[in-house]
Amino acid sequence: MNEADVMKLRITFRDNFHTTGRIHGSTIDVLRDKDGRPYIPGSHTKGVVRTEAERIWFSAKGLEPCNITDMKEGFRCPNEEKCPICGMFGYPNQRDTEYREGVLRFYDARMAKGEVSPLRTHVSMNREKESGVDGGLYSEKIMEAGSVFEGFIVIRRPLKPEEEGLLKGAVASAGWYGLGKDRSRGLGGAEMELLPSSIDELVESMGVRK
């Protein structure tokens, strides 16, 4: 068995950035972990990178993307041998609704540097189903442009050259489309990069509390 490889995913925001966390009074906070530190869920960075990998791969090959959002019981990758994406990022299990995890496992990205700015924009909460609030104006906290977040990607087996190229290409260009909320309003643009890391660094980042 080959040892799993670990890469660090660094995200440097060009734009202000928002992820919806708790609501205090009429202020929507950013998403924070139990220690109060802003973070970006690994499921979100994974989704952003996957979307970009699909954009790159299927347009280059002239194939229809595998539609995993419309998946049903018994989903199989429709592109089978021609698709490295489902194997890398995972897809629903045949027997239940859990995702079969792919080769890549994305961990949450935590804020390494940055400022959370008190109040920036006012939004109406009418369309926010998940908030449980029925309307009125709310202020959002945002993370300021220049903030840096770092997470990890565990790569469970050595990637084939085409998989590695696809991961690197997707990470390099995914940030252009932005992360977090309100990308259409110009929030969330970022530069993303992969850096060498190790299991030790990952474990340390998860175990050490400041």
Chain positions contacting Zn ion, by CB under 5 A? 66, 77, 79, 83, 86
Least spacing, CB of residue 155 vs Zn ion, in Å? 18
Quote the tokens at residue 205: 């980042």
Quote the tokens at residue 152: 């990890």
Contact 130, 105 (CB under 8 A): no
d(CA 207, CA 126): 39
Of 203, 9, 204, nearest to 106 (Cα)?
Answer: 9
Closer residue to Zn ion, CB minimum distance, 3 or 64: 64
Closer residue to Zn ion, CB minimum distance, 82 or 122: 82
d(CA 191, CA 177): 10
Least spacing, CB of residue 79 vs Zn ion, in Å? 5
Closer residue to Zn ion, CB minimum distance, 100 or 120: 100
Least spacing, CB of residue 89 vs Zn ion, in Å? 9
Of 156, 134, 114, nearest to 7 (Cα)?
Answer: 156
Residue with tokens 């629903």: 92
Closer residue to Zn ion, CB minimum distance, 77 or 123: 77
Least spacing, CB of residue 92 vs Zn ion, in Å? 12
